[in-house]
């Protein structure tokens, strides 16, 4: 089974900060990695797919990079609405859909 880790598990930051979240996968998933944002009580929202492709309508302050087993999500200048939990997910095949444990981004 593919294992996924995210770091940090919690991140404290201020409005305007640049933050980076890292996702590591136990085996290569090529570029088949997505990032989601989830606010409390809501469904997840797709931010980035194929490691670095910004989903339509998502602000350009969000960006993704990486390939293989290590990926990053960067928010260039935090806005108040960005404080949420972020999940990475690999989707490299029929039986290979896995989410990372999540990173909670909180206001410092």
Partner 1 sequence: QVQLVESGGGVVHPGRSLRLSCAASGFTFSTYVMVWVRQAPGKGLEWVALITPDGSIKSYGDSVKGRFTVSRDNSKDTLYLHMDSLRPEDTAVYFCARVDEPWTSISAALYWGPGTLVTVSS
DSSP states along 50-102: TTTEEPTTS-TTEEEEEETTEEEEEESS--GGG-SEEEEEEEEETTEEEE---
Is residue 57 a contact point for partner 1 (CB under 8 A)?
Answer: no
Rg of the chain over all Cα atoms, to the nearest angstrom: 13
Tokens 């990475």 — which residue? 88
The interface mask with partner 1, positions 11-40, x = CB under 8 A, is ---------------------x-x-x-x--
Give the total of residues touching partner 1 (CB under 8 A).
26
The interface mask with partner 1, positions 58-97, x = CB under 8 A, is -----------------------------x-x-xxxxx-x
Q: Which of 68, 79, 101, 107 binds partner 1 (CB under 8 A)?
A: 101
């Amino acid at each position: 089974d593919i294992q996924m880790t995210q770091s940090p598990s919690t991140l404290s930051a201020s409005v305007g900060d640049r933050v980076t979240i890292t996702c590591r996968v136990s085996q290569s998933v090529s570029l088949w990695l997505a990032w989601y944002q989830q606010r409390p009580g809501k469904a997840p929202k797709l931010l980035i797919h194929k490691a670095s492709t910004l989903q339509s309508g998502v602000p350009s302050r969000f960006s993704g990079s990486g390939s293989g087993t290590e990926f990053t999500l960067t928010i260039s200048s935090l806005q108040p609405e960005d404080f949420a939990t972020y999940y990475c997910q690999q989707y490299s095949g029929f039986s290979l859909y896995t989410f990372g444990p999540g990173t909670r981004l909180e206001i410092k």
